[in-house]
Chains A and B, each alone.
Chain A
Amino acid sequence: MIDKSYFDSLKVNILEQGLGQGLGQGGLSSGEHLFINLYAETSQFIRVNHAKIRQTGMVDDASLEISLIQEDANKSAFTGNDLRKITRAVTLTGNLTLDLETVHAALNKLRNDVLQLPVDPYCVLPTNTGSSAYEKTGVLIPPEDAAWVLLEPVQGIDVVGIYSAGKVIRALANSAGQSHWFATETFSFDYSFFTKSGRALKGVFAGSSWDQKKYLNQVSEEVNRLKVLEKAPKILSKGCYRTFLAPAALSELVSMLSWGALGEASIRQGESPLRLLRSGTQTLSPRFNLYEDFSRGDISRFNEEGVLAPESLPVIHEGKLSNSLVSSRSAKEYQVLPNGAAAHEGLRSPTVQGGKLEEAEILKILYTGLYLSNLHYLNWSDQPGGRITGMTRYACFYVEKGEIICPIENMRFDDTIFNLLGSELLDLTCSASYIPDVGTYNMRSVGGSMMPGLLVSKLEFTL
């Protein structure tokens, strides 16, 4: 079983006792430095289609990522610029004896391979800036009851989605003595409710303690929301439309900034459109403020190297780039200060500051235009130029004179972030919604984003 005491034992054996190999002080050979990162989960997944079960199962998974940094043995004096780094991840079983054998073999391979590598001038050594431990226990549905609890209330509704529940662990230790532990028990039911005509709305019921009454209320609200989707859809012409992006749609747009835009490396290496913000060639709206906000405690603040991100980091302040996301590696390369960004230099806990629009007044303020609940399949159509294309999806409506008239057939947009978050941005809602990250690539994601709605004077639709 993988828990904190298991990780502590692993840590002691690897970092302090050198896996019983009689290595030097601290368990590592001279000139060796180490990071270990643990990723583990115990999850139940129920895949639902037409309010029935398509697939269901349990996943136990754990892996340990070991990064070995080797100083150049031929150097007489340590400079910090003669380092070689190599990383290996191995599957863990939770059986400490077996796992130590696996880790031992991995470390031996790393020790052999690292000597063959060229010096990595931007490699960063472990530091100890403090340790942390966070553990949250949830109240989850027993796995054998989950199907009934989930599906009984939605019979007769065309519901499709994925229920995920269980414990997720992230932990880190390094040879400088730093240690972080993050464990949380959560659930999410990421769903779509469909009408008979094939139109849909999307939602998520998520948290750490299942509340059946709240679930039933949410199901009931969604059924009511479906009614307007029964109307015949409007086929829009190409062109520009005054548009309101609901929080989930804005979350999709903001997530694109994690894809080669906000990272210091992408700005320095010419690929980010936000290099134009730094140079002053472009600006975003002074109403647009984006933060990394870890105060919610739903995601670990430490990155792969144990560096704690600030609890709150202004990224875009009043339309100007106030902080790019700087990993330790970029900090060393470009001689700037790191700010706890992960290696990929993407947003981990984004929050967009609200504006002055009352949510209840949105339709009246939008007056005539489009209300978009969700966007789909966004991609840079011209990354250096800041242009993004994508589709509308789910509950998207044509609004006329402050009233929802009907849903729209899905449309493709193609427009720039300098328009959407800049010159065409009218305002944001004063309230924000929490959009949980329900991704499950490789492992269950944790955390989410806090997003208001966004009103733009025009968004260009092309197909």
Chain B
Amino acid sequence: MSNHLKNAISRVRDTNIEWVGLREVREEIRYSAARDGKPRANSSELSHGLMVEVLANGQFGYASTPNLDEQSIQLAIRKASAQAFSASRWAIHRFSAAQRLRIEMKYTSPVVRSLDSLSIRELNDLLIEISCKLKISPKIVRTEATAATFETHVHFVSSNGSDAEQKFTQISTGFSATAQEGSVVQKRTDAGMRGRSYQGGWEFFQTPALWNSVQMTGAQAVELLSAEECPSEVSSLILKPDQLMLQIHESIGHPLELDRILGDERNYAGSSFVKAGDFGKLVYGSPLMNVTFDPTISHELASSGFDDTGNRATREFIIKDGILLRGLGSLESQVRLGGIPGVANARACSWNRPAIDRITNINLEPGNSSFEDIISSVERGVIMEANRSWSIDDLRNKFQFGCEYGKLIENGKITRTVRNPNYRGITNPFWRSLRKVGDRSTFEVYGTPNCGKGEPNQLARTGHASPICLFENIEIFGGAS
């Protein structure tokens, strides 16, 4: 991207404007899908435009435009300025340029196999082959394979000297098999819906394990048809990382967003049970619980160099030894809350939306228990994997999750498969019941590419990594019948 943004800022003459930021975003999204051995969709999208943000009279105002010529940028600056001035009388906080730090850096996603290395013909052939090979039995009534890629180039410049770029390459792939026998229908996916979402290229789809995973997904869909229903009882629960991903997202990520704690989201996504006074004090979970905001894991979906307000992103402990330390909030949220520590997480989903506090990458750090240690310690319980259902209240307390696949654990051994495994609980009691945390060998990285939040609404890509974990005394149950 060229210097036209810096030139546009240099031509701003309105002395009442305290700060101007320009964020140009050019994003290419491609999506292909095959169903039951035939192509279902092939689409792409090129989105390109500019977000102008102006600070005037202590209030930020914004204006987005798809026009990148000088006249249109200046018009957008005037519109944003008018918004800021007219709103400043009603401002929720008097901001300053201290909430927009100067940044100069470049960040690029590491890519091993570039997105261009697979033609659209080869991609369709691959997806069709996967959807055919998933059909391992006549009982499989539907198969699907999908691949979405995202190439996003962000250029951020500001009147206080920021000039920074980020080039993200992201990939989100998945496949599923639905089996049916009589009235019983069971679906199995590869790590849950869109769970395999990463920063990087085709190396995360064309893996050595791909065809084994395809075979196993089809086989387990059929296996679930004759599996017994998950028991309804209070027992031990072991969650694999492809389910913990969403447990972390919903019951750690969202309640710790400072804009929720400030009440900004009360009309839509909701608020939080966490209060401003809880930081540094609240026992969020058991002493085994260590959670980080980590933008540095290179292939995790939301890794970045800086956020969309120019704040440099660094790894931080959010929860350490079970104690809540830090919130997920931008410099704006931090100053509104009187200096509660936050992170660089002001992100926008596109050029036509303003930055808000987002989850980005939130990870549960590994412990020291091996998989075998964890299983052998359980007298009776269920191990669950791959999310299929999720719901939590607006304060992020009462949750219920459903998984695709479960295994009973009896007397320290994995025994029978169970279908429709579900569990429910309340956030802090649940995390305080964390009894064992898997070691590095059980640590896996996943992503959720459709995190909805904000007014106007925004979908964000977030990453979550964790080891397997054991929880005690959890309410588990089965399906509809």
Where the two chains meet, the residues of A that have a C-beta atom closer than 8 Å to any C-beta of B are 43-47, 49-63, 85-95, 106, 109, 113, 116-122, 143-148, 151, 160-162, 164, 190-192, 194, 198, 200, 202, 269-271, 276, 281, 376-387, 389-391, 393, 410-412, 414, 416, 439-442, 444, 462-463
Is A192 a contact of B80 with CB atoms below 8 Å? no
Cβ of B60: which chain A residues have Cβ within 8 Å of it?
Answer: 55
Nearest CB in chain B to that of A281: its residue? B183
- Given known contacts A57-B61, A269-B142, is B392 in contact with A377 (CB within 8 Å)? yes
Instruction: Choose among B42, B44, B352, B390 the residue that contacts A61 (Cβ–Cβ < 8 A).
Output: B352
- Given known contacts A162-B455, A381-B402, is B48 in contact with A91 (CB within 8 Å)? yes
Is B64 a contact of A160 with CB atoms below 8 Å? no
Cβ of A391: which chain B residues have Cβ within 8 Å of it?
Answer: 391-394, 398
Is A410 a contact of B393 with CB atoms below 8 Å? yes
Q: Count the B residues whose beta carbon is within 8 Å of the partner chain — how many?
A: 85
Apart from the given pairs A53-B87, A463-B400, 17 other A-B contacts in the complex at a CB distance below 8 Å = A49-B92, A50-B263, A58-B62, A61-B352, A87-B42, A89-B43, A93-B72, A118-B124, A144-B86, A145-B86, A190-B268, A270-B141, A381-B402, A387-B480, A412-B391, A441-B452, A462-B424
Once bound together, how far apart are the Cα atoms of A58 and B390, in whole Å?
34
- Given known contacts A61-B49, A440-B455, is B480 in contact with A55 (CB within 8 Å)? no
Is B92 a contact of A50 with CB atoms below 8 Å? yes
Q: Mark B235-272, 1 if CB is under 8 A from A, else 0.
A: 00000000000000000000000000011101110110
Is A271 a contact of B46 with CB atoms below 8 Å? no
Within the complex, what minimum Cβ distance (angstroms) separates B234 from chain A? 13
Q: Which one of B39, B72, B262, B270 has the highest number of Cβ atoms from chain A below 10 Å of its Cβ?
A: B39
Once bound together, how far apart are the Cα atoms of A281 and B83, in whole Å?
57
Once bound together, how far apart are the Cα atoms of A120 and B37, in whole Å?
10
Within 8 A of A (CB), among B113-141: 119-121, 124-125, 128, 141
Once bound together, how far apart are the Cα atoms of A100 and B398, in whole Å?
52
Within the complex, what minimum Cβ distance (angstroms) separates B307 from chain A? 16
Cβ of A56: which chain B residues have Cβ within 8 Å of it?
Answer: 59, 61-62, 83-84, 86-87
Cβ of B65: which chain A residues have Cβ within 8 Å of it?
Answer: 60
Is B178 a contact of A379 with CB atoms below 8 Å? no
Is A379 a contact of B142 with CB atoms below 8 Å? no
Is A270 a contact of B390 with CB atoms below 8 Å? no
Within the complex, what minimum Cβ distance (angstroms) separates B374 from chain A? 26
Once bound together, how far apart are the Cα atoms of A146 and B394, in whole Å?
29
Is B66 a contact of A92 with CB atoms below 8 Å? yes
Instruction: Choose among A61, A85, A269, A414 the residue that contacts B64 (Cβ–Cβ < 8 A).
Output: A61
Instruction: Choose among B80, B125, B141, B402 the residue that contacts A57 (Cβ–Cβ < 8 A).
Output: B80
Cβ of B43: which chain A residues have Cβ within 8 Å of it?
Answer: 86-89
Cβ of A121: which chain B residues have Cβ within 8 Å of it?
Answer: 38
Is B92 a contact of A161 with CB atoms below 8 Å? no
- Given known contacts A57-B61, A120-B39, A269-B141, is B183 in contact with A87 (CB within 8 Å)? no
Cβ of A444: which chain B residues have Cβ within 8 Å of it?
Answer: 456
Within the complex, what minimum Cβ distance (angstroms) separates A63 from chain B? 7
Once bound together, how far apart are the Cα atoms of A387 and B43, in whole Å?
33
Within the complex, what minimum Cβ distance (angstroms) separates B131 from chain A? 12
Is B183 a contact of A269 with CB atoms below 8 Å? no
Cβ of B390: which chain A residues have Cβ within 8 Å of it?
Answer: 379
Q: Mark B301-337, 1 if CB is under 8 A from A, else 0.
A: 0000000000000000000000000000000000000
Is B456 a contact of A164 with CB atoms below 8 Å? yes
Say whether B63 faces chain A, with CB atoms less than 8 Å apart. yes
Is B39 a contact of A117 with CB atoms below 8 Å? yes
Is A87 a contact of B267 with CB atoms below 8 Å? no
Once bound together, how far apart are the Cα atoms of A411 and B392, in whole Å?
10
Is B456 a contact of A440 with CB atoms below 8 Å? yes
Instruction: Choose among B66, B142, B398 the residue that contacts A62 (Cβ–Cβ < 8 A).
Output: B66
Is B267 a contact of A393 with CB atoms below 8 Å? no
Is A378 a contact of B391 with CB atoms below 8 Å? yes
Cβ of A389: which chain B residues have Cβ within 8 Å of it?
Answer: 389, 391, 400
Say whether B67 faces chain A, with CB atoms less than 8 Å apart. yes
Is B267 a contact of A379 with CB atoms below 8 Å? no
- Given known contacts A63-B47, A85-B42, A95-B67, is B400 in contact with A49 (CB within 8 Å)? no
- Given known contacts A162-B267, A377-B392, is B66 in contact with A270 (CB within 8 Å)? no
Once bound together, how far apart are the Cα atoms of A88 and B30, in whole Å?
9
Within 8 A of A (CB), among B146-184: 178, 180, 183-184
Instruction: Choose among A117, A122, A148, A412 the residue that contacts B124 (Cβ–Cβ < 8 A).
Output: A117
Is A440 a contact of B457 with CB atoms below 8 Å? yes
Once bound together, how far apart are the Cα atoms of A377 and B399, in whole Å?
10
Cβ of A61: which chain B residues have Cβ within 8 Å of it?
Answer: 49, 64, 66, 352
Once bound together, how far apart are the Cα atoms of A154 and B353, in whole Å?
26
Q: Mark B377-395, 1 if CB is under 8 A from A, else 0.
A: 0000000000001111111
Cβ of A390: which chain B residues have Cβ within 8 Å of it?
Answer: 391
Q: Mark B356-388, 1 if CB is under 8 A from A, else 0.
A: 100000000000000000000000000000000
Is B185 a contact of A271 with CB atoms below 8 Å? yes
Once bound together, how far apart are the Cα atoms of A59 and B53, in whole Å?
12
Is A116 a contact of B119 with CB atoms below 8 Å? yes
Cβ of B119: which chain A residues have Cβ within 8 Å of it?
Answer: 116
Once bound together, how far apart are the Cα atoms of A58 and B83, in whole Å?
8
Within the complex, what minimum Cβ distance (angstroms) separates A116 from chain B? 4
Once bound together, how far apart are the Cα atoms of A272 and B86, in whole Å?
50
Is B266 a contact of A377 with CB atoms below 8 Å? no
Is B87 a contact of A46 with CB atoms below 8 Å? yes
Once bound together, how far apart are the Cα atoms of A379 and B457, in whole Å?
19
Nearest CB in chain B to that of A114: its residue? B42
Nearest CB in chain B to that of A190: its residue? B267
Is B187 a contact of A271 with CB atoms below 8 Å? yes
Within the complex, what minimum Cβ distance (angstroms) separates B244 from chain A? 18
Within the complex, what minimum Cβ distance (angstroms) separates B225 from chain A? 11
Within 8 A of A (CB), among B418-476: 420, 422, 424-426, 452, 455-459
Once bound together, how far apart are the Cα atoms of A47 and B187, in whole Å?
40
Within the complex, what minimum Cβ distance (angstroms) separates B348 from chain A? 11
Say whether B89 faces chain A, with CB atoms less than 8 Å apart. yes
Is A160 a contact of B84 with CB atoms below 8 Å? no
Within 8 A of A (CB), among B9-45: 38-45
Q: Which one of B60, B66, B422 has the highest number of Cβ atoms from chain A below 10 Å of its Cβ?
A: B66
Cβ of A387: which chain B residues have Cβ within 8 Å of it?
Answer: 479-480
Q: Which one of A92, A148, A463 has the highest number of Cβ atoms from chain B below 10 Å of its Cβ?
A: A463
Once bound together, how far apart are the Cα atoms of A55 and B458, in whole Å?
14
Instruction: Choose among B59, B64, B178, B420 the residue that contacts A60 (Cβ–Cβ < 8 A).
Output: B64
Once bound together, how far apart are the Cα atoms of A92 and B125, in whole Å?
32
Q: Which one of A57, A61, A440 has the highest number of Cβ atoms from chain B below 10 Å of its Cβ?
A: A57
Say whether B481 faces chain A, with CB atoms less than 8 Å apart. yes
Say whether B105 faces chain A, with CB atoms less than 8 Å apart. no
Is A54 a contact of B264 with CB atoms below 8 Å? yes
Within the complex, what minimum Cβ distance (angstroms) separates A255 from chain B? 14
- Given known contacts A47-B264, A147-B90, A271-B142, is B394 in contact with A377 (CB within 8 Å)? yes
Q: Mark B49-76, 1 if CB is under 8 A from A, else 0.
A: 1000000000111111111000010001
Once bound together, how far apart are the Cα atoms of A383 and B426, in whole Å?
23
Is B457 a contact of A160 with CB atoms below 8 Å? no
Once bound together, how far apart are the Cα atoms of A43 and B141, in whole Å?
44
Nearest CB in chain B to that of A380: its residue? B389
A-B contacts, 6 of them at CB < 8 A, read: A85-B42, A87-B41, A269-B141, A276-B183, A376-B393, A379-B390
- Given known contacts A52-B92, A147-B87, is B82 in contact with A57 (CB within 8 Å)? no
Is A58 a contact of B79 with CB atoms below 8 Å? yes
Instruction: Choose among A43, A95, A164, A412 the residue that contacts B424 (Cβ–Cβ < 8 A).
Output: A412
